[in-house]
Amino acid sequence: MVNWNRRDLLRACLSSLCRQTGVAFEVIVVDNGSSDGSADMAERDFGCRVIRNAENRGFCAANNQGIRAASGDFIALLNNDAEAEPDWLPALRRACASGPDIGMAASKILVWEDPRIIDKAGHLMFPDGQNRGRGSGAWDRGQFDREEEVLWPDGCAAMYRRAMLDEIGGFDEDFFAYGDDAELGLRARIAGWRCLYTHRAVVRHHRGSTLGKGSAKRLELIERNRLLLALKLFPATLLWLNPVYFAMRLAAGLLVPQKGARDTAYFPGVKGKWTIVRALWRGQVEGFKLAPRMLRKRAEVRSIRRLSSRDIRRLIFAHRLPLQEVA
């Protein structure tokens, strides 16, 4: 569990872990330089093992620290702004251990403020690299109440097989935060591992509490990391088409009536829309600055690759995020 302040959210999260039954586990909190006493609280009140960083090293680096410190064959991640139902850990454990090629297990994540609404039930991806939770924002009518293969899990509440992480590596620390779980998940799929979603592993999530839903920095990181993921992992034919799909997504966002939904609701008026444009532009610029590094990493991915370029394209399009939804 990665923590950066949010003491009250962390307490509720740790309390939910105390209610887990039917599986032995350890809790490791990696604290990114919190100033609100949350790290001390986790250690004192819950007996957690706390790894303390002097500064905010980001979601990726902190998770890698926790993964290295963990002793289990399966590694679960839980955001400090999420609360798990009592069967969450054992349900993920059963799913992840259900087959030798299952390297990841995905949770059913509900909105904390209204658990009738789905936050994520696995992930979907648009062909430009933008990804979003499957069913995000939909009413929970049981449409995802079954175990099935999904593209990858959301890092908010996920489980990974240790053997898979040992083979492919952990989170790419150049991503810092946002889209990092997508990069790890797609890299694992390229290496031949699969992901199983289970509706029995339920958490409730405070959406957007890390940087805030109205944070321009959040949008910048999402856009930057979308580009980094494509440069590192997309097959060449899909990478060349990336500008086309990106333009399609932007055009759809302009043409589809917003009705106060999604990210645009947190950036009202002309000033707000200009903030979005600048954040997207900064994300693009920062992404291209890191392009040479991503291309070097692209070459490194070949050593773990099990899927052909055609297989990767089929995988992405089989779990494609519809244009209407991404708009």
Q: Would the pLDDT of 127 be above 80?
A: yes
In the numeric block, which tokens belong to residue 320?
Answer: 């494609």
Q: Would the pLDDT of 257 be above 60?
A: no
CB-based contact 77:168 (threshold 8 Å): no
pLDDT at 252: 84
Measured distance CA(238)–CA(242) in Å, rounded: 6
Q: What is the mean pLDDT of the chain?
A: 92
Over residues 78-108, the pLDDT tens digits come to 999 999 999 999 999 999 999 999 999 999 9
Q: Would the pLDDT of 272 be above 80?
A: no
Domains located in the chain, CATH noted = 1-327 (3.90.550.10)
Measured distance CA(193)–CA(309) in Å, rounded: 16
Over residues 12-31, the pLDDT tens digits come to 999 999 999 999 999 999 99
Measured distance CA(33)–CA(75) in Å, rounded: 23
**Residue 90, Ramachandran bin (φ over 0: left; ψ between -120 and 50: alpha; else beta):** alpha
In the numeric block, which tokens belong to residue 212?
Answer: 């805030």
pLDDT at 216: 85
CB-based contact 216:275 (threshold 8 Å): yes
